[in-house]
Chains A and B, each alone.
Chain A
Amino acid sequence: MMMRKIYGGLLAGVALMGAGVVQAQTIAPAPMVTATPSPTLDNGVLTGTVSDDSAWQSLGIAIPSFATNADVPTAASAGSTAQLGRAIAEVITGDLKNNGLFKPTGPNSLPPIPIIQVLTPDFPTWSTRSAEMLVHGSVSAASNGNLVVGCYLYDVSLRQQLVKATWEMAPGDWRRAAHKCADTIYSRLSGESPFFDSRIAYIAETGPKDHRMKRLAIMDSDGANHRFITTGQAMALTPRFSPDYRKIVYLSYLNGRPRIYVYDVESASQKMIAEPGSPAFAPRWSPDGKWILYSMAQAGNTNIYRVSSQGGISQKLTETPGINVGGSYSPDGSKIIFESDRGGSQQIYVMNADGSGQRRVSFFGGRAATPEWSPRGDQIAFTHIGGNLRIAVMGVDGSGMRYLTDAWQDEAPTWAPNGRIIQFFRTEKGTGKTSIWQVDLTGRNERRLPTPVDGSDPSWGPIRQ
C-alpha cells in the first residue's frame, strides 16, 4: 500500500515568469543551490491511495519543451533559451523514466506550448493525450546573465497545479535546474525524498584485464558532466565524495604504495590523509565530513582507523587478528557498520563510532561484505558472497536479508541520497569488464548507468544543496 498525498487548491497571486520572478530561489553564485522544497501551497490536503507500484508505472506524465518569453542566446552548453527549454524537458524525462515509477513522455513526442499556457494549461487537450500528470516550465535569461527556470506540475483530471518551483542559476548549471525540477515532481508524486540532483564518483577502467588502467572520475547522477580526475599512471580505487562535494577521498598507488589521498575538487590538488607507513585502503567519510575511516594492514592483520579529515593522529577502532575492513556510518554518525573475518569468514559487524560495543550482525550462510548504511537509517546494503557475488539488503539488526541482484559478480553497493535506489558495479565473467548499475529496493527495476568507458566502485553523494 502506498499513500499518495494530493495537495489541493490553486495558487493565488502567482507571478508570471520572466525577469523579476518574485519567488525565484537564487542559485547564484554557482554552484550552490539554495532552493528549498518548502511547499508554496497553502491550502488543505486531500489524500487518495494507489494500490501498489504497478499502478505507479501506468502514471503517464507529459513533459513538453519548457517555454520561453524570449528566445535569446545564453552561455549554457545547450544553447538559447528555447533550446534550453527542450533540453531541460529531455533531462527531466530521462530522470523520471529510469526509476520504474512513471511513464513520462518527453518533448520529442509532444508539441511545444506557448508561454501563456505554463500557468494556464490546455487541460482538455492534454486529457485526450492520456496524460494524467503534466509538467510545464519556463526558461528565461536574467539581466545578470543567469538563467531562471520555472517548474510546474499539474494533475490533468483534477485540473490543478500540484507544485511549482523556480530556480535561478548560472548558465553552466542548467542541468541542475532540470534535476531539481525532476526531484520536485518525483517527491511530490511518490512522497519520497529527492535524489536526482546528486553526483557520483567512480573508477573509470580501460585496458586488458591483467593490466587495467583505473582512473578516478566523477559525473552527475544521470552520467552527464563526466570528468576524469586522475591520469591513470597510478592505480586509483574506491573513491568517496565528501558530503559537501568539495573533496574526494580515495586510494591511490602513487609511487607504488597504496595510500589514502584527499583530492580537492576546486583546487585540483591532493594530499595524503595520513602517512601510516603501512598500506592503507577502503576510505570512507563520516556523514558530517569531519572524519575519515580507513583500513590499514600491519603484520598481515587489517584494522579500521579513524582520522580527522583535517589530518592528525589516527585512532584505532578495531583490534582483532584477521581482516577488519571498510565501514559505513549510520546517518546520525553514532555507529559504524563494517566487515570482519574475526569469526572465521567475512561477516558484518557494528560498533559505536568510538570503536566500543563491537558485535556481529549477520549470521546467514555465505560471506557478507561491503556493508553500506542506508541514508534513511533502516537498512544495510551489502555484497553477499556464496559463489557468485550479489547485492543484498537487510535490516540494521541483520534480519530480513534478501537479494536485489543475481549476476556472476555484483559488488560494492552505494545508496541513492533518498535510500530508494542502490548503485553497484558488475564484473563480467572471463573478460573482467566492469559496468555501473542501479537497482531499486524491489529488485525489479535494474538498469545500467551509461559511462564513457568501463566503470567500478561507484559512490553516490548526497542531494546537492
Chain B
Amino acid sequence: METSLSLLERIRASGDAAGWEQLVELYTPLIRIWIRRYSSSPQEADDVIQDVLAVVVRRLPDFERARPGSFRTWLRTITVNCLRDSWKKQRLRPVVAGGSDFQQVLEQLSDPHSELSRLWNDEHDQHVLQSLLTRLRPTVPDQTWQSFFRVAMTGEAVEAVAADLGITVNSIYIARSRVMAKLRELGRGLID
C-alpha cells in the first residue's frame, strides 16, 4: 500500500490527539470567520467553534468522501447544526443583518445551492488552499516554486517567467505539474 500523503488521511490516521491539533490549526480560523458573522460575542462564538471541532474530530473516522466537495459540505452541515443547537439552547444570541432572521440563514446554509452556501464553499476552498500552499512551500525547491507561483498563481506569461529565471519553458511546465500534483495529493479529500 502506498503511504498516503493527504492531509486528511494523515489526520484521520493519527488518532484523536494529534488529529485534533491539526484540525484546530487548519479549520479554527475559517470556522471562526463563519460563526462570528452571526454572533455578537467572541465567547459565544468560541463555544460554537469548540462544538464544531469536537463533532468533526469525533466523526472524522466515519467520514467517507462520497463525491467532490463533500468534505466542505460535511463541515458546513456540522457547523450549521452546531449553530442551530446553540441557538435553541440560547447559548448563542444570533445577530443577523439584511432583513432575514436566523432561521432563514440556517435554511440557506442547509441548501447546498443557495448563494450563502456557495459563499461558504468559496471561503472554504480559499482558506484550505492557502493553508495547503503554506505547508507545501518549504517542501519545494525554490526555483520550482517560483515557476509554479508566478505562472499558476499570478498568471504571468510562461515565456516571461522562463526568461526571467533563466530556464526553459519546458522546465516551467514541469515545475507547475510537480507542484500541482503535490498540492492535489496533500489536499485530497479536502479540496477536490
Q: Do A and B truly interact?
A: no
A-binding residues in B (CB < 8 A): none
Residues of A within 8 A of B (CB): none
